[in-house]
Structure 1
Amino acid sequence: MTLGRTIRYVKGEHLSFIRVSRLTKTFVWGDVLSFVIQGNSSTFSILGYTTLAKVAVVAGLVIQLISFSLFWLTAVIFERRINRSPTPESLLPTNSWRKLLHMLYAVSALIMIRSIFRIVEYVLGNNGYPLSHEWTLYIFDSIPMSMVMVIFLIRYPDDLKPGLDLDRHSEIPLTYNYPEV
């Protein structure tokens, strides 16, 4: 959602690789497909098809990784296009769209590290190095996801509310009490 709102914020819909109205839906459906496939792996496991269950989990994780790679590619293509032909809104000094894209790149990299680790973990199995050494779970799973939360806490994109007038953005108070209507 942050990428779509960033693109709309700078009025760069025409520069997006994927139509902005379909952007969030595309990546949410990629995640849903990934989760459904991984969730069905438990059925295979219960029925005694452990190899098929393992393949389903890995397939779901690979779908998630492909979906996230497509997300990253979409953001990179948008950034290159808007740098080549900037919109007037993207040139405003109060507009922080570059910082938001860099924040998205950082959290995306952390999530991709975790996804790759999860694939390696499942491929190696219960006796593999990642599950037999606890430090790998901290370094490649817990820490990256904790860092994602901290980055979003520090740099939450609250200035991407739909309908904001960019010229008056600096004048909008953090809270506003509306008189009775």
Structure 2
Amino acid sequence: MEWVLCYFTPSLAAAVMFVALFGLSTILHFQQMISTRTWFMITFIIGGILETIGYIGRILSAIEAPNYTVGPYAMQSALILIAPAFLAATIYMELGRIINLTHAESPYVVRPKWLTAIFVAGDVISFLMQASGAGLMVESPNNPTSGEHIILGGLFVQIIFFGFFLITSFLLQLRLRRSPTAQSVELRGLWRKHLYCLYAAGILIFCRSIIRVVEYLQGYDGYLATHQVFIYVFDALLMFGVMCLFHAFHPSELNCFLGRAEKYVSKGLFIRGFVPSVDEEKSTDAV
């Protein structure tokens, strides 16, 4: 089939709506990061920026229809594709903070900071593969096969690492249920809330990646790629859901209880927190 940049007329209303949603959410996340000094959220904000710019590209394509150009196509194809990798990096880093908060390092052969580094490294590999594949598709639009294959490889890497991440998270919860530490008992409500948030966000990104794999397996002229409803329902909506989850359960609370910040976000308010002190004797008795 002859290569075309777009097999449908992009919905201007849908694109404008998601530019507004991602843009406002990103601005709010930036404010929350600055106010609470939760600096590791910068990757999350980058992901939000990429989502916003990607859907601006979709707006430009809608305005251009039916005379599409490569520029807007490249914006939406590349940025919307790679943005979730930045969201995922934040999720991986938050898991390491939950492990540190609960003092649950013992069941892991790898130290929490290295565990986080391994997940983030996998995320970087996935990002680079997807970005290079998208670049090839833009540079050689008449022969997109090579780019599609590289993107598929990057998506599979993302799925594999996310699978390990979900398993690791589940093992952490199982370990704390069977052999709770003093800190995990004292802060049970806190770490469980954030762990469940990671589960939800992880599942949303995992499902999105599965859909994108199916899309690229079908090819650039497949059913999913030629019907825009799928990118809005199974990509835009799911990723916006991830951003909303981190508004409601902001990681600044973990940073505060780890002694890395003075304030955290709770119910839309910035609250001064404290670092709970658990002495060694109390820890020993509780265990």
Report the counterpart of residue 85 of structure 1 in structure 2: 179
Question: Which of 158, 163, 166 is equivalent to 1:72?
Answer: 166
Matched, 1:26 2:118: yes
Report the counterpart of residue 12 of structure 1 in structure 2: 104
Matched, 1:164 2:256: no
Report the counterpart of residue 170 of structure 1 in structure 2: none
Report the counterpart of residue 246 of structure 2 in structure 1: 152
Deviates more, 1:45-54 or 1:120-129: 45-54
| Gap runs ≥5 in structure 2 | 1-92, 261-269, 274-287
Cα deviation 1:25-76 (Å, max 9, x = unaligned): 1111111111222233256544676332221110011001111111111111
For the Cα contact (< 8 Å) 1:114–1:144, is it kept in 2?
yes
| Gap runs ≥5 in structure 1 | 166-172, 177-181
Question: Which of 206, 219, 224 is equivalent to 1:125?
Answer: 219
Matches within 5 A, 1:35-114: 35-42=127-134, 44-45=136-137, 46=139, 50-92=144-186, 95-114=189-208
Pick 1 or 2: higher relative contact order, CA cutoff 8 A, min separation 6: 1
Q: CA deviation at 1:94?
A: 6.5
For the Cα contact (< 8 Å) 2:126–2:158, is it kept in 1?
yes
CA distance in 1, matches of 2:193, 2:116: 20
Matched, 1:139 2:236: no
The 3 A distance-change label for structure 1 pair 132 and 11 is same
CA distance in 2, matches of 1:36, 1:60: 8
The 3 A distance-change label for structure 1 pair 164 and 17 is same
User: Which contiguous aligned blocks of 4+ residues in structure 1 show a shift greater than 4 angstroms?
Assistant: 42-45
Q: CA deviation at 1:96?
A: 1.1
Local SS of the residue matching 2:106 = helix
Matched, 1:2 2:94: yes
CA distance in 2, matches of 1:2, 1:94: 16
Q: TM-score, normalised by structure 1?
A: 0.83
Letter in 2 for 1:24: T
For the Cα contact (< 8 Å) 2:101–2:254, is it kept in 1?
yes
For the Cα contact (< 8 Å) 1:9–1:160, is it kept in 2?
yes
CA RMSD after TM alignment: 2.3
For the Cα contact (< 8 Å) 1:10–1:89, is it kept in 2?
yes
For the Cα contact (< 8 Å) 2:134–2:148, is it kept in 1?
no
CA distance in 1, matches of 2:187, 2:116: 27
Q: TM-score, normalised by structure 2?
A: 0.54
Report the counterpart of residue 10 of structure 2 in structure 1: none
Local SS of the residue matching 2:129 = helix
Deviates more, 1:29-38 or 1:147-156: 29-38
CA distance in 2, matches of 1:17, 1:42: 36
Cα deviation 1:105-133 (Å, max 9, x = unaligned): 00000000111111111111222111221
CA distance in 2, matches of 1:20, 1:106: 21
